[in-house]
Amino acid sequence: MTLVEVMMSAAAGSLVLGAILTAGVALQRSYMAVEAYSTAGGDQLRVLDYVALDCRRAMSATMAGLTGTTPQISQGSWVNTGGTTTTDNRGVVRITGGTGQWVPSGTGPTSLILALPSYYDSANSYAPLNPTLTTGAITYGTGSVFVIYYQDGNNFDRRVVIQNAAGTTVLDTTTPIATNVSTFTVTAQDLTSTLSCAITFSPKFTFLPTASAITGTTVYCNTFLRNAGARN
Amino acid sequence: MKLNQSSGTKGSVLIITILTLTILAFLCATSLYVASQNLNAGMQTSSWQQSLSGSETGIDLAIRALNISSTSPSTAWAGWRTGSLPSGTSLPTSEPTVSASPVPTAPPDSTHYNYLPSTNSNASLTVTNTEGATSVATWVTIDTAGMLPSQDTNGKQWYRVRATGQTAVSGPARVSGNRLDNSLRNTIGLLLNRKGGTFLGPTRTVEVILQPLSSGGWLRAITLSTKLTISGSGIVDSFDSSSAMYSTNGQYDLAHHLTHGDVGTASSSGSAISGSAHLFGSLAYSGPAVSGANATTVSGSITTPFNPTIPGTLDPVVKSGNSGWTWSNVTPQVNANWGPNMTTTYAMSNGLPKDSNNNVLTSVTATSTDPTAPTFFIFNSDFTVSGGHTFTVNSTSTDPNNPNYIVIWVKGKFTTSGTGILNQSLGSHVVWIVDNDITTSGDSYMNPGGYAKNTAFVQVSGAANPDGTFPQSHKVTVSGSGNFIAQVDAPNSTMVVSGGGYLVGAAIAGNLTVSGGSGFHYDEALSGAVSASLGNYAFASWFEDNSAPGRGINY
């Protein structure tokens, strides 16, 4: 084999290997983009399902530190003091004990605040409770349950605060239910019958970030507040 | 230069081939993984939604069974079973085994529950040769949940309905790769079933509390087909003229008032409660929320939907051969039958009736003791008691509990104006059938010491059209500061109550405006005059149970 032959074969081999490498990288990039697209679609469906689930079963209630009744949209955050906090490997934050209240803040995230019936018995493995009919109104257990949706950085969090009748936090769980969220908008004008909100997700992969590129995917959730008490 | 060709390089083809095949295998595996995740996520979501549809269909099946139970019990409970509550008032958390349990013939009592097994449910569906869910099954339970009829305004039983929809997915039991999905749709696969039992697949349970709504118009203070507007400082409450505990000499007394001043509107668009007005009763509505209605302004429950059947009001009709007259009305219940010579028609002069000698009458007299054959007069056009005039409805009886019955058909407007006074004797039972507007007040329609059960105004609307509308629309205006004691059945009217006085009795109207400190005192004695049949059920509470106690997931 002459040197020329070696050089030519090396060049040809490099060309083939380069092509394979480029194609492989492109394919991997494409697969990652497809998976990210799939994950984003899953996130969007999950967020819609969660918000719709909680809106349908929401009721009206008062929350410590919050003016007016729920459902409500407010800027601020729920602050729990005196409890024990743990965080698991999924980023779920759990607080037990202590007391909490809503702290309004003009710089805080816009939050959707919903109240749910105290349907489960926290002292009995969260078994469903029987309803109680009093002066035309249905209640389940004592205490309160609030669900708060808000954007935290790129995450979209769902915070569930369970308090007993004395106001002590039984369990305060914050779960990021979606990632890559760029905006969260709740329409307040329909709070008396339906709740409308929009959540925009940032694309994880963009090919050419030009001015005309798609900046995100927005999903809309319009849910009828089924419990009459939540609409009044 | 010449290089020696080594025999050891001959295996490079094999290595390159294996390397290439490995790369291709990785590419294929990645493709399959991505496709599998997309498929699982899509399948999860669709199955999750199908399960909710299944459970909500179960709720509808239960409502249908309750609605027609009294009239067609065998149809209502076809396929249902009944059983004893497992412990206390707790419902089973997994589907009971279908056995030879007795078939119910009525809604459950306090110690039993009725259930519709998934195998007997029309909502259950099995599909073969499909890529998606292979079946959707629904099972439903109904029980009283410890709630008592005595806790209801009308003494009716509330029910808890719990329906579970289950979807079986095809293919391997495999969850999505995203753990967040597993927390939400936590019964999708593997060996999880948070509701117990052996069923695998997405399972969604909805629990609703159903409040019975009575169909009789006098079973609540106000029944409206459209808008309700209450402003000012008035209240809506109740009393019972037949009870010494809840009235004073049969009259309303704030110290003895009750909180059953229920209000229902079948189409609540534009409705509002404002000012310091307060409903001492429950509010039921269909349509958008009633503005201002909340726990502060409404003492009782606020429920939806409210879909009453409001009957039209009709004129009396001549029997064939001019052999007499008949008239029937649902609310107040009157079924009158007059013979050919039992009616007298009067022409009118300046709003008052005049006899055949053109003498203006200032009174009529009720003489009949038979409610099905009352004294019957026809005023042939507008009836007006103007300022300075007095018109009296006399009776031979002086006992309001054993009155003389009279029906007066006004073929025009009914008006008491200015200082005009219409006196109704204590021992008379008067039904005014009015073909046009009604304008009166508690200061001019005088029936002191009387009961609403003895004074009824029926404004003719015509028979209801198939879409629920009525062909005739008129006004009802009640003003003044005095209490107006009457039942008002004006199903397509624009009704206004103002001036500070109260309507003591009950009302059916198209839309209602209450202002100026006026209000309603519903007389609960009227509820005994009609059949307290059930009209439908409204959701008092709706809750989806998404917990997985075994996994520490609740709410």
Encode chain B (555 residues) as per-residue pLDDT tens digits: 555 555 555 667 888 889 888 988 987 888 888 777 777 777 777 888 888 999 999 999 999 999 888 878 889 999 999 988 876 667 777 777 776 668 899 999 998 999 999 888 877 777 777 777 788 889 999 999 999 988 887 778 999 999 998 888 765 555 566 667 766 765 444 344 555 455 667 788 999 999 887 666 687 899 999 999 999 898 999 999 988 889 998 999 999 898 889 999 999 999 999 989 999 998 989 888 899 998 889 988 888 888 787 888 999 998 887 788 899 887 787 888 888 878 899 999 989 999 989 999 999 999 999 988 999 999 999 999 998 899 999 999 999 999 999 999 999 999 998 889 999 999 999 999 999 999 998 889 999 888 999 999 999 999 888 877 899 999 999 998 889 999 999 999 999 999 998 999 999 999 999 998 999 999 988 876 554 444 578 888 999 988 776 666 778
Inter-chain touch A117–B38, beta carbons under 8 Å: no
Chain B neighbours among A 62-81 (CB < 8 Å)? 69
Question: Residue B370 has what DSSP assignment?
Answer: -
* C-alpha distance from A164 to closest chain B C-alpha (Å): 15
User: Side-chain half-sphere of B362: how many Cα atoms within 13 Å?
Assistant: 6
Answer yes or no: is A52 within a domain: yes
* Separation of alpha carbons A175 and A157, rounded Å: 5
Instruction: Please give the pLDDT value at position B378.
Output: 94
Name the A residues in 91-130 with CB < 8 Å from any B CB: 116-117, 119-120, 122, 125-128, 130
Contact B329, B458 (CB under 8 A): yes
A232:B181 CB<8 A: no
Neighboring chain A residues of B24 at a CB cutoff of 8 Å? none
Cα–Cα–Cα angle for A183, A188, A194, rounded to 5 degrees: 105
How far apart, in whole angstroms, are the C-alpha atoms of residue B344 and residue B377? 5
Determine contact, residues B136/B54, Cβ cutoff 8 Å.
Answer: yes
Q: How many CA atoms lie within 13 A of B392 on its CB side?
A: 10
Q: Give the whole-angstrom CA distance, residue B91 versus residue B545.
A: 14
Structural domain boundaries enclosing A189: 44-231
Q: Which among B290, B192, B302 is positioned nearest to B548, based on CA atoms?
A: B192
Instruction: Report the C-alpha dihedral over residues B191, B197, B201, B204, rounded to 10 degrees.
Output: -130
B402–chain A nearest CA distance, Å:
35
- Segments making up each domain of chain B, as ranges: 25-214+540-551, 217-532
Q: Specify the long-range contacts of residues B35-41, CB closer than 8 Å, at least 24 apart.
A: B37/A35, B37/A38, B37/B176, B37/B177, B37/B178, B38/A38, B38/A41, B40/B174, B40/B175, B40/B176, B40/B177, B41/A38, B41/A41, B41/A42, B41/A45, B41/B176, B41/B178, B41/B181
Contact of B1 with chain A, judged by CB distance below 8 Å, is answered with yes
Number of Cβ pairs closer than 8 Å across A and B?
Answer: 159
Across the interface, of B178, B291, B544, the residue whose CB is closest to A56 is B544
User: What is the predicted pLDDT for the residue at B547?
Assistant: 79
Residue B467 confidence (pLDDT): 79
> B293 — contact with chain A (CB < 8 Å)?
yes
Residues of chain B in contact with residue A1, where contact means CB-CB under 8 angstroms, are 2-3, 5
Nearest chain A residue (CA) to B32: A31
> What is the nearest CA distance from A161 to chain B, expressed in angstroms?
10
Q: What is the pLDDT of residue B366?
A: 94
Mean pLDDT of chain A: 86
CA distance A5 to chain B (A): 10
CB contact under 8 A, A125 and B549: yes
Q: Could you tell me the mean pLDDT of each successive run of 10 residues in chain A, 232 residues long?
A: 88 90 85 81 86 92 91 93 91 93 94 94 83 86 94 92 94 90 70 77 72 76 81 66
Taking CB atoms and an 8 Å cutoff, what residues of chain B touch A20?
Answer: 20, 23
Whether B555 contacts chain A with CB within 8 A: yes
Buried b (16+ CB within 10 A) or exposed e, B282-296: bbbbbbbbbebbbee
Query: For position B189, what pLDDT does the model report?
Result: 42
Residues B332, B337: Cα–Cα separation, whole Å: 16
Could you tell me if B146 lies within 8 Å of chain A, comparing CB atoms? yes
Is A30 domain-assigned?
Answer: no
Nearest chain B alpha carbon to A117: B543
- The structure tokens listed for B445 are 């329609």
Q: If you average pLDDT over every residue of chain B, what do you get?
A: 85
Residue B388, classified by CB atoms within 10 Å of its CB into exposed (0-12), middle (13-18) or buried (19+), is exposed
Q: Chain B neighbours among A 22-51 (CB < 8 Å)?
A: 24, 27-28, 31, 34-35, 38-39, 41-43, 45-46, 49-50
Q: Do A138 and B547 touch (CB under 8 A)?
A: no
Q: Is residue A28 in a domain? A: no
- State the pLDDT at residue A209: 62
pLDDT, position B177: 63
Of A27, A49, A229, the CB nearest to B302: A229
Domain count, chain A: 1
Listing DSSP states for B82-95 in one string gives EEE-SBTTBPPSSP
For residues A140 and A118, is the Cβ–Cβ distance under 8 A?
yes
Q: What is the largest CA-CA distance in chain B?
A: 148
Q: Do A126 and B547 touch (CB under 8 A)?
A: yes
CB-based contact (8 Å) between B41 and chain A?
yes
Angle subtended at Cα A97 by Cα A151 and Cα A152, rounded to the nearest 5 degrees: 10
- A84-87 vs A93-96, strand pairing mode: antiparallel
CA quadruple B62, B66, B72, B73: dihedral sign: positive
Question: Helix (H, G, I), strand (E, B), or coil: what is residue B511?
Answer: strand
How many helices (H) does chain A have, and how many strands (E)? 1, 15
